[in-house]
């Protein structure tokens, strides 16, 4: 069995031709005048109406790129704009499998990985920055699906106030369907400097069958 039998569980979008991208107008969000009722004079913050307008514009742009209609892209953009930690609130994970599906898809897109085939094993190298070995789970589901997951949380201290938050928090995950010659009983994992390496050994190749000798009888 060769390495091409190893597949990854992922989501694929069909992108347009490169020439079509140049036809898309650049996104532009007009700022309201300072005397507008939609402008908060105290905090100079853009009001929810402007946020919704910006989300709709991003959805239209994404719909043109991926060939999806605007309502579908608007709903997807709304789900992606909700932070990972919002559970129990309206629109949280308790609503159904759609929210969990989008959250897992976003986690897989944010978790880079390399897959290598060695003479006697497969190696999965996954970036898990900011996570210790106790925060990472390596599991085998449905007999042959390798699941690597973890969750990075923001440290909360009473005497500290965030002035800027750019580091992504939330779930990290990748899924891989292992090939037939992977040994499910010989899987090891090691994490060093935020890089996780999962090694899955190969089953030994079957021994070739020896030809059977037929004794020729003398007539």
pLDDT in tens, 13-55: 344 444 444 444 554 544 545 554 444 444 444 455 665 566 5
**Confidence (pLDDT) at 139:** 92
DSSP at 88 = S
Tell me the pTM: 0.52
178, 7 in Cβ contact below 8 A? no
- Domain borders along the chain are 110-156+168-202
**Domain 110-156+168-202 of CATH type 2.60.40.790:** yes
- Sheet strands side by side (includes 170-177): 7-8, 170-177, 145-152, 136-141
Q: Which two tokens stand for residue 166?
A: 């750019």
User: In angstroms, rounded to a whole number, what is the distance separating the alpha carbons of residues 25 and 5?
Assistant: 41
Q: Name the strand (E) or helix (H) holding 66.
A: helix 48-66
């Amino acid at each position: 069995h060769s390495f091409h039998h190893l597949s990854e569980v992922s989501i694929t979008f069909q992108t347009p031709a490169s020439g079509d991208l140049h036809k898309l107008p650049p996104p532009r969000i007009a700022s309201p005048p300072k005397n507008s009722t939609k402008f908060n004079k105290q905090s100079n913050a853009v009001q929810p109406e402007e946020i919704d307008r910006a989300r709709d514009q991003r959805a239209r742009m994404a719909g043109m790129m991926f060939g999806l209609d605007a309502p579908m892209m608007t709903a997807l953009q709304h789900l992606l704009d909700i932070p990972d930690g919002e559970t129990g609130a309206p629109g949280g994970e308790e609503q159904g499998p759609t929210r969990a599906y989008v959250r897992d898809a976003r986690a897989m897109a944010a978790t880079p990985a390399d897959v290598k085939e060695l003479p006697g094993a497969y190696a999965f190298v996954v970036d898990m920055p900011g996570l210790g070995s106790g925060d990472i789970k390596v599991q085998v589901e449905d007999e042959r699906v390798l699941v690597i997951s973890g969750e990075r949380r923001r440290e909360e201290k009473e005497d500290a106030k965030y002035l800027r938050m750019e580091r992504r928090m939330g779930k990290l995950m990748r899924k891989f369907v292992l090939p037939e010659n992977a040994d499910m009983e010989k899987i090891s994992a090691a994490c060093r400097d935020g890089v996780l390496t999962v090694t899955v050994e190969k089953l030994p190749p079957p021994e070739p069958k020896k030809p059977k000798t037929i004794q020729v009888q003398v007539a």
